[in-house]
Amino acid sequence: MLAGLLLVTAISGSAAYWVLRKSLPVVSGTKTVPSLSGTAVAVRDKNGVPHIKAGSLKDLYTAQGYVTAQDRMFQMDLSRRQASGQLSEVIGEKTVEKDRYFRTLGLRRAAEASYELYSSEAKQVLQWYADGVNAYLRDAEKKNSLPIEFLMVGYKPKKWTPVDSLTIGKYMAFDLGGHWEGQAFRHYLLQNFPKDNALDLFPSYPKGGAEIIEIASKAKVDIKSSLAKAVIPNEFNGSNDWVVAGTKTKSGLPYLADDPHLGLSTPSIWYESHLKAPGMNVSGVIFAGVPGIIVGRNTQIAWGVTNVGPDVQDLYIEKRNADHPDEFLFEGKWEKAKIITENIKVKDQKTLPYKVTITRHGPIMSEFAYDKQKNTALSMRWTALEPSTELQAVLMFNKAKNWNEFKKALTYFHTPAQNFVFASKDGTIAYRANGLIPIRKEKYASVPVPGWEKKYEWKGYIPWDKLPTAVNPKEGFIATANNKVIGDDYPYHITDSWAQPYREQRIKDVLSAKEKLSIKDMQKLQFDRKNLQAEEMLPILLTHLKTADLGTNGRKAVKLLKDWNHEDDKNLAAPLLFNLWMQEVSDVLFEKKIDEKMMPLFDGKAQVVDELIRHAAEGKEGPWIKEAGGLDEAATISFSRTVKQVEKLQGENPDKWKWGTYHTLPFDHPLSAIKPLNLLFNPKETPMGGSRVTVGAAGWDSFTGKVNHGAAWRTVVDLADLTKTYNVVGPGQSGHVLSKWYDNQIEDWTSGRYHVTETNESSFKNGEKLVLKPGK
């Protein structure tokens, strides 16, 4: 019996391995791509970066589509399905609620509307790219060599379309868009807590003052029933970027560094490529499924992005006609809403009928959660649901030669609003917060506003020439990290919910400290582990600890924190204690008071808690601190709970406590939630330093400690030599588990190292060369 079982296992294993091997992309030799007009070549260097060269832009983008699909087809298909609300068609009823949400939002509808705005040239690029993807699909289906994930899930991908690429772009606007959930959460506070308690958790007092607070308090919209199942992007989505003038660099020309912070997964959200054709030579990264290069450099310039995080989403409380549910009140008259059929196909089940209601402001968000109240509803207005032309801007970035050309391209980039940093070989460094940011007739109120009154409408956007901009500042550098980018005298509202200031302050400290900076300094700073939140908060919290109540390990833990250098080192105990302590402070303040289903909507919670602690330390304890027994009691209880949690996680001996034992990086694959597929697709977990507030960002799941957020792409550019850049993509370039480029960059990513991507052909002449030829 044992021999028989071993034989069956061996045969099954061999068959599975054979199927996996068969689906490996062909990266050398010759392939026929019918839509090509001439020959294109893709040479993958030792890090799996494809250097794609063609004799025309048509063939270049066709080849880009083909090559990207080779490495990332399952990811591309999953991305378009998630953004379009079409996961249930291939996965089943488990994803119905997610599909319902994205159908309600209408990212795909917005992409379809956007397509009509694009120039004929941009539409051609989208089609050429789609032709390349579809050439790969036809070839893979013919040879039964689609990625193994399609076989496991049990479906084949549909034909790729230009709108699919634009839909993925709209999803990135969703991932980086902002703050409607905060409005909903604050409405919930006003409905369920005394006014003083509610306002204590606002980022600032609503500009609308007493009137809007009164309206929000009386409007009976059940936020818990309506929005508790909404899909909320990670609140720490953001980035670091900076540029340094040549006067401060060892090369004498500018440096640029960029590391966008998004979810960490296998494969990476980013795909590194080098594209070369007559009139264009550009290298950097793009989202798999989209043509061009969104962050990178060409032969004259380099650019990077961070998220501005402006208030571009408003929730409106709508008055519904009880007798005609598709009518909503505006200025004393009932307006008929637009009803769109969005039936949801579900694997192995009947298609679910579903309709989306769209008012003058946008989709009714409360209906996806079956909240069919007769008299009220919540709708959302959001810039990303309007037609926009970001890809047009990206294609222009790729060819821009100077700041004026790059700035002109920004006129096409509307959403998500981004902080762009720029550097060029002529020595220019520049910054711009760019995108559509609404101007409201009434001041921004931090809560949902009445949809039936004209005075709460938008009246346009911040004028393009008034958006925050800086060129060649006297400081010799520009740095952004999702921080406040304007002074108090700026005449327009951007947001009240900026990121915590610690990353940006650390970047400025380091860039200011040296007269001349090196490329190594830039790389070291991108991986920097200095925790300025600990530097600020520990002196406050430790002062308020009642140490007599802590026990032996508690007092040892206090000493560990007092002796700490505030580096979030994976081998130290202090980062574990501090970061878990800050989580416990929040729990002590809010648990058993704020419904746990509402906590994901608590936009900017970390900033709010920081402020509560600061105010209490200044003798101005707010109601939440007071109700927790004061700062002494809150600090002591939360610290005691932290020590007990660490003991439970890592034992009774403080000498063995380590941040990296808890704070590990799995780079989860989308199918890893299905056990035991995690053993096949997930790379080995790696202990990780850093935290949410360090420049070297490493956010984590608060329940498991697993690192799930950070800069999957880091790049450093010296404008003195644009033939090479210093990059890392975690975990690697390929989405195929047997590829040598699947997870080969994890060690570099987790230790702060880089590979060099060179654009001189001599540097990658010995790479894996794939020749793509036209033909049938």
Is the per-residue pLDDT at 219 higher than 90?
Answer: no
pLDDT value of residue 367? 59
Do 631 and 512 fall within a single domain?
no
Average the pLDDT over each of 28-37, 207-216, 613-622 and give the range with the smallest value. Answer: 207-216
Q: What is the pLDDT of residue 285?
A: 98
314 is in an annotated binding site: yes
pLDDT digits (tens, 9 = 90+) for 105-132: 999 999 999 999 999 999 999 999 999 9
Residue corresponding to tokens 């054979």:
18
Same domain (yes/no): 579, 627: yes
Within a domain: residue 649? yes
Active-site residue identified among 35, 239, 273, 388: 239
Beta bridge mates, 272: 285
Pair (626, 479) in one structural domain: no
Are residues 592 and 653 located together in one domain of the fold? yes
Q: Which residue is associated with the tokens 């704020």?
A: 594
Specify the pLDDT at position 218.
63
Question: Is 374 part of any domain?
Answer: no
- Does the pLDDT value for residue 210 go beyond 60? no
| Residues 472 and 499 occupy one common structural domain | yes
**Residue for token pair 């379009």:** 84
Query: What is the C-alpha to C-alpha distance for residues 189 and 210, in angstroms, rounded to an integer?
Result: 15
Sign of the alpha-carbon torsion through 384, 389, 394, 400: negative
> Which of 634, 657, 680 is a domain's end point?
657
Q: What is the pTM of this model?
A: 0.94
Q: Which domain holds residue 615?
A: 532-566+573-657
pLDDT attached to residue 5: 45
CATH number at residue 496: 3.60.20.10
For residues 487 and 557, membership in a common domain is answered with no
| Residues 410-421 pLDDT 10s | 999 999 999 999
Residue 95 covered by a domain: no
Q: Encode pLDDT of 596-627 as tens digits.
A: 989 999 999 999 999 999 999 999 999 999 99
Boundary of a domain, candidates 657, 686, 716: 657
Give yes or no: residues 557 and 600 share one domain.
yes
Q: pLDDT band at 629, cuts 50/70/90?
A: very high
Same domain, 265 and 403: yes
Name the domain boundary from 629, 657, 685.
657
Residue 369: is its pLDDT beyond 60?
Answer: no
| The pLDDT of residue 366 | 76
Report DSSP letters for 621-671, one per residue. --HHHHHTTHHHHHHHHHHHHHHHHHHHHH-S-GGG--HHHHSEE----TT
For residue 196, the model assigns a pLDDT of: 93
Indicate the number of domains in the chain.
2
Flag whether 700 is in a domain.
Answer: no
Instruction: Report the pLDDT value the prediction gives residue 208, as an integer from 0 to 100.
Output: 56
Residues counted in the chain: 776
Report residue 79 as tokens. Answer: 């991305």
Q: Tell me the per-residue pLDDT of 642-686, one tens digit each, with 9 for 90 and over.
A: 999 999 999 999 999 999 999 999 999 999 888 888 889 999 999
Shared-domain flag, residues 500 and 560: no
Q: What is the full DSSP assignment across 31-67?
A: EE-TT-SS-EEEEE-TT--EEEEESSHHHHHHHHHHH
Check whether residue 515 and residue 601 sit in a common domain.
no
Any idea what DSSP says for residue 600?
A: G
Containing 130, the helix (H) or strand (E) segment is helix 120-142
**Would 710 be classed as within a structural domain?**
no
Q: What's the pLDDT at 226?
A: 63
pLDDT (0 to 100) of residue 230: 79
Percent of the chain surpassing pLDDT 90: 83
Cβ atoms < 10 Å from Cβ of 679? 8
pLDDT confidence of residue 14: 66
The pLDDT of residue 16:
72
- The DSSP code sequence of 149-162 is HHHHHT--PPPP-H
CA 380, CA 410: separation in Å to the nearest integer? Answer: 26
Going by pLDDT thresholds of 50, 70 and 90, the confidence category of residue 216 is: low
Whether the upstream peptide bond of residue 416 has omega within 30° of 0, thus cis, is yes
The encoded tokens of residue 207 equal 């500009």
Consecutive H or E run containing 214: helix 209-218
From CA 138, how far away is CA 613, in angstroms rounded?
59
Residue whose tokens read 């081998």: 571
- Residue 739 a catalytic site member: no
Query: For residue 485, how far is the Cα from the chain centroid?
Result: 20
Contact call for residues 458 and 439 (beta carbons, < 8 A): yes
Question: CA-to-CA distance for 413 and 392, rounded, in angstroms?
Answer: 8
Q: Which of 483, 466, 519, 387 is nearest to 108 (CA)?
A: 387
pLDDT at res. 90: 96
Within a domain: 773: no
Please give the pLDDT value at position 510. Answer: 98
When pLDDT is averaged across residues 708-717 and rounded to a whole number, the result is: 97
pLDDT at 734 over 90: yes
- At 222, the pLDDT band (50, 70, 90 cuts) reads low
Residue 258 has pLDDT above 60, yes or no: yes
Say whether pLDDT at 64 is over 70: yes
Instruction: For residue 179, tell me if it sits in a domain.
Output: no
Residue 180 lies in a domain: no
Q: Is the pLDDT of residue 326 over 90?
A: yes
At residue 155, does pLDDT exceed 50? Answer: yes
Q: Residues 84-90: what's their mean pLDDT?
A: 97
Are residue 522 and residue 540 in the same domain, yes or no?
A: no
Average pLDDT over residues 391-404: 98
Pairing assessment for the beta strands 255-263 and 707-710 based on DSSP bridges = antiparallel
Residue 550 — pLDDT band, cuts 50, 70, 90? Answer: confident
Same domain, 585 and 627: yes
Amino acid at 526: Q
Comparing CA positions, the residue from 659, 663, 731, 658 lying closest to residue 701 is: 663
Q: What is the mean pLDDT of the chain?
A: 93
Distance of CA 359 to the CA centre of its chain: 28
3-class secondary structure, 574: helix
Count the Cβ atoms, other than its own, within 10 Å of residue 772: 24
